[in-house]
Structure formats: C-alpha cells, structure tokens
Amino acid sequence: CFRHHTLFRTKQSVSLESSVCEEMSSQVRLRLLPSTRCLFDEPVQLKVAGLRSRQVVTMRATSSDEKGVVFSSSATYMADGSGEIDLERDPSLRGSYVGVEPMGLLWSMTADTLHKRFQKMYALQPHVVRFSVHEEEGEGKMLAEVTNERLLMADSVTRLPVREGNIRGVLFTPPGGGLFPAVLDLYTFGGGLSEKRAALLASRGFVVLTVALYGHGDMPKNIKEVHLDYFEEAIEFLKKQNKVGSKGVGVISLSKSGDLALSVASYLSGVEATVWINGCSANTALPLYYKKSQILPALMCDFSKVIITKSGAGIGKYAMHNPLAEENKGSLVPIEQAKGRFLFVASEDDLNWDSKAYMNEMVERLKRHGKNNFEGVSYPGAGHYLEPPYGPYCASSFHGFVGKPVLWGGEPRSHTAAEVLMWKKIQEFFRTHLSCDFQTNNKL
C-alpha cells in the first residue's frame, strides 16, 4: 500500500509539474511600451515577463515591405532572476546583434533575398512588425507575441496628392490652426515617389511637399535632362499653401537629389535652408537646364572603376569622375551664390561615392568666399542611405544608374545611431532657420 501510495504521489507530482510548466508558458507576456502603435521614427521598449529564472529565449521580429519582401531578425536573451527581460537593460547574447540594443530587432532585420532595400513609399501603409518570444530549446515553441504598428503619418496629418501644372507629388500638412515652416522634399532619384520622409516631417510640424521627377503617374519613365523650372514651380506652389508661415522654404535631399538641392538653393529665390545628405558637390548624371538653357553639364562616372565583390554587388565609390579636375569644374554647383543656409550631412563609410570629400570641398569653397552660412556633420561607420531612423539597415540593393546591385557601406549599429542623430539635427536645423511664427508641438 505504501509503495502504491508513493507511486501515485510521484505520478501526481509529475502531472502537477507538467501542468505548472504549461501554465507558466501560457503566462509569458511580451509588452510593447508605451504603446503598440507609434510613429515610424519613435523608439519603443520591449519587455518580457513570466519566464523561468535565468531562462534563455530567442526574440524575433518579422515584417514585409510594399514589394512583399520579408525582413526578419532574431536575438538570444537570458531572463533575470525574476524571469524578466528588458531590451533597454539586457544584452543580446547572440543573433542578429550582440549587446544592449533596445531597437536592435528593428534595425537588424534583413531581407530573405540578397540585395533588397526595405521599401515603404506610401504614407497610408504602416510598417507592421511582429515581435515574438520563443523557447531556445527544441523546435523553438512560441511563448508570446505582440504586433507593432509603426505609422508613417500621424493620424491628424492631412495627405493631398498634387497634380497641378507640371507638379506631381503629395502635400502633407500638420493639424491645427497655427502656421508652419515649409519644406520641399527632393526624394526624387530612383524613379517614382517616396512619401515616408515627407509624412514623418509633417508629423513633426512641417508643411511638406514631396515631388517626383520621373516614373510617377503620367510622368516619363526615364529622363535625359533635368529642368530647374520644375522645382521653382513646386516652391511657388508650396509657399501659397494656407498653413505655410515661413518666409521661404527648406529643401531636403539624399544622394543624387543632393546636387539638385544645391542647385535649387543656388539658382532659385525663396530657399532659406537646405539639407544635403550624402550627395555630390557637382551636378551629376544628367545635364541641368533653367529657362530652356543648360546651366550645368553632367559629371559622369567610369563604370570600369566599379569594384565587383563576391556577393555580386559593386562598389562605386571610386567610379565618379573628379569634379575638381579642370575639365569637370564646369559641373560644380555654385553654392557660393546661395543666400540661404546649408546643413551638410556625410557618411564616412559611404561606398556609393565619397560624400565626405564632397562635403569638405564645399566647406572649403564657402570659406574661401567668406561665407559662414553652413554647418557640416559627418558620421563614422554610417553608409550611404541615411533615412529616418529604425528602419531595416540596407547593406546592398539595385542601383538604377549603375544597372546592378551595389554596396552602400556602413556598419548597421553605427549607421542606425547616425540616423537617430541626423533626424533630430534636421528638425532642429529647419526650425532654427525657417523663420516662422507657428504653433505646434514636437510630437503630434
């Protein structure tokens, strides 16, 4: 009887322990603070509770972009003595990144195929990320999950497609009765129209017009020349908007559109502040026209100098012709005649071209002309595509001008840190130099 009773109790204990384990698993909680819904450029805090003391788990993030490309990341964590994990406090032991990286699961996401860049072009479509916690052992059973909806546009911002005259773009306007600074977003190269940066800037208190240059709607798919008159028309349209309170406009750019922004600031009136991000100091790729006359020839590149790597992606940093060579100086944008202010932003590990050298050349030129209407910042370890923070870092993708995949440069952690700093710097720059009496909050 005693043996039978002991056996019964042992079986009962095993059954009870099993039941407790199942119950613990079902009690694991994954929390997203302060909310599961936020703007794309806002950090969130991930916390796990209900684990066993010192339990090792894998945390994952998965998402897909507008092209259907799947992006994912994973990192291994150990719970503390209370069975909790806090990504703002605890280090990843291994996985897509190592160390304390509160937003690591977001920026370390990579595509399931080579040479793909994360694309979120349309502001009405949020970046939806699924975070989950999995057992480290066995088949990695999922213990908990939560979905993060990362909005490109604040709920109260208005979005208006623009098709007026030659302009093709989208206008974003903050809510409220106050007046706001105006910004023209020249995210124009690569074809089509990108709304992400413009929508996020509007969510931070700016009236923003983003325009397409080609490949959008009824616009030609390819162009052989650029006309400055198009941007002049866009500036006049922007200045006429009811909620615009700044005397002039700001201009923001990236890559090829960097030299377009320099030309807009140098040749057109009404530009008070220009942000140049990883561009060139000369007009590149396509000749520039104004009032039907060519004002700048195109600085070209030598494709034989593109270095092909084992992955099949090329390095184009050394392919561009030297803009300071005597035969190319005519392509330099005459920024010394600009009346507004410049913010130059350069990545020190840009593999597309030598942005840092172009920035240094422009700074020296402005100094020689007795100008002090500029500030420059460079970021070590950052690559070419500096964008609003917390999107997946892009190591390589297809380059339309080169006609094949290229490496963009940068180390993911350093690149993301640069994006956070740059995004704050850009907003401060525009608020300081776009003179305007406006009523808004930094966060809507």
- Max Cα distance, the chain (Å): 107
Q: What is the pTM of this model?
A: 0.91
Q: Is residue 315 part of a domain?
A: yes
Does 133 lie in the same domain as 167? no
Q: pLDDT-based confidence at 402, cuts 50/70/90? A: confident
Q: E strand or H helix at 199, and its extent?
A: helix 196-203
Radius of gyration of the chain measured on its C-alpha atoms: 26
Tokens representing residue 145 in the block: 């999950």
Does 138 lie in the same domain as 62? yes
> Is residue 41 predicted with pLDDT exceeding 60?
yes
Q: Is residue 256 part of a domain?
A: yes
Out of 74, 255, 257, 347, which one is annotated catalytic? 255
Does 198 lie in the same domain as 138? no
Does 164 lie in the same domain as 140? no
Yes or no: say if 114 and 396 are a contact pair by the CB < 8 Å rule.
Answer: yes
Closest by CA position to 97, among listed 82, 85, 111, 107? 107
Yes or no: say if 246 and 431 are a contact pair by the CB < 8 Å rule.
Answer: no
Q: Which residue has the tokens 């100091």?
A: 281
pLDDT of residue 299: 98
Closest by CA position to 235, among listed 182, 192, 275? 182
Query: Which residues lie below 8 Å from residue 21, measured CB to CB, with a gap of 6+?
Result: none
Backbone angles phi, psi at 311, to 5 degrees: -75, -10
Transcribe 112-178 into DSSP letters.
SSSS-------TTS-EEEEEEEEESSTT--EEEEEEEEEESS-TT-EEEEEEETTEEEEEEE-SSSS
Does 377 lie in the same domain as 255? yes
Q: pLDDT-based confidence at 257, cuts 50/70/90? A: very high
Q: What is the pLDDT of residues 110-140, one digit of tens each?
A: 999 999 999 999 999 999 999 999 999 878 9
| Residue ranges making up the domain that contains 142 | 28-151
pLDDT of residue 187: 87
Mean residue pLDDT across the chain:
92
Does 172 lie in the same domain as 46? no
Q: Based on the residue annotation, tell me whether 350 is a catalytic residue of this protein.
A: yes
pLDDT of residue 19: 38
Tokens representing residue 132 in the block: 């989950």
When pLDDT is averaged across residues 265-293 and rounded to a whole number, the result is 97
Identify the domain boundary among 151, 172, 191: 151
Q: Is residue 383 part of a domain?
A: yes
- Burial profile 116-155: b = 16 or more Cβ within 10 angstroms, e = fewer: bbbbbebbeebbebebbbbbeeeeeeebbebebebbbbbe
Transcribe 224-287 into DSSP letters.
S-EEHHHHHHHHHHHHTSTTEEEEEEEEE--THHHHHHHHHHHHSSSEEEEEEES--SB-BSS-
Give the residues across from 211 on adjacent strands: 169
Does 231 lie in the same domain as 108? no
Q: Based on the residue annotation, tell me whether 86 is a catalytic residue of this protein.
A: no
Tokens representing residue 84 in the block: 């909790």
Tokens representing residue 107 in the block: 């920026």
Helix (H, G, I), strand (E, B) or coil at 431: helix
Omega within 30 of 0 (cis) for the link into 334: no
Q: Is residue 23 part of a domain?
A: no
Query: Which residues lie below 8 Å from residue 362, measured CB to CB, with a gap of 6+?
Result: 281, 335, 342, 344, 374
Q: Which residue has the tokens 């916390």?
A: 47
pLDDT of residue 246: 93
Neighbouring C-beta atoms of residue 77, cutoff 10 Å? 24
Does 251 lie in the same domain as 198? yes
Closest by CA position to 32, among listed 45, 51, 49? 45
Helices (H) and strands (E) in the chain, counts: 7, 25
Give the residues across from 169 on adjacent strands: 162, 211
Does 270 lie in the same domain as 201? yes
Identify the domain boundary among 114, 129, 151: 151
Identify the domain boundary among 97, 118, 151: 151
Alpha helices in 328-381 (DSSP H): 355-368
Q: Is residue 301 part of a domain?
A: yes
> Is residue 332 predicted with pLDDT exceeding 60?
yes
pLDDT of residue 191: 64
pLDDT of residue 437: 56
Does 358 lie in the same domain as 240? yes
Q: Is residue 18 part of a domain?
A: no
Q: 56: domain CATH number?
A: 2.60.40.2240
Out of 115, 384, 399, 415, which one is annotated catalytic? 384
**Region of poorest pLDDT, from 21-35, 39-53, 96-110, 341-355:** 21-35
pLDDT of residue 24: 41
Out of 65, 185, 350, 354, which one is annotated catalytic? 350
- Check residue 402 and report its DSSP letter: T
Number of structural domains the chain divides into: 2
Q: What is the pLDDT of residues 346-373, one digit of tens each?
A: 999 999 999 999 999 999 999 999 999 9
- % pLDDT > 90, the chain: 85
When pLDDT is averaged across residues 311-338 and rounded to a whole number, the result is 97
- Name the strands in the sheet holding 158-164, side by side, starting at the edge strand that comes first in the sequence: 158-164, 167-173, 207-211, 180-185, 244-252, 271-277, 341-347, 374-379
Report the distance separating Cα 400 and Cα 188, nearest Å: 13
Q: 420: domain CATH number?
A: 3.40.50.1820
Does 164 lie in the same domain as 141? no
Q: Is residue 443 part of a domain?
A: no
Q: Is residue 264 part of a domain?
A: yes
| 403 vs 244, higher pLDDT | 244
Q: Which residue has the tokens 């949020």?
A: 126
Yes or no: say if 386 and 254 are a contact pair by the CB < 8 Å rule.
Answer: yes
> Is residue 312 predicted with pLDDT exceeding 80?
yes
Q: Based on the residue annotation, tell me whether 132 is a catalytic residue of this protein.
A: no
Neighbouring C-beta atoms of residue 215, cutoff 10 Å? 18
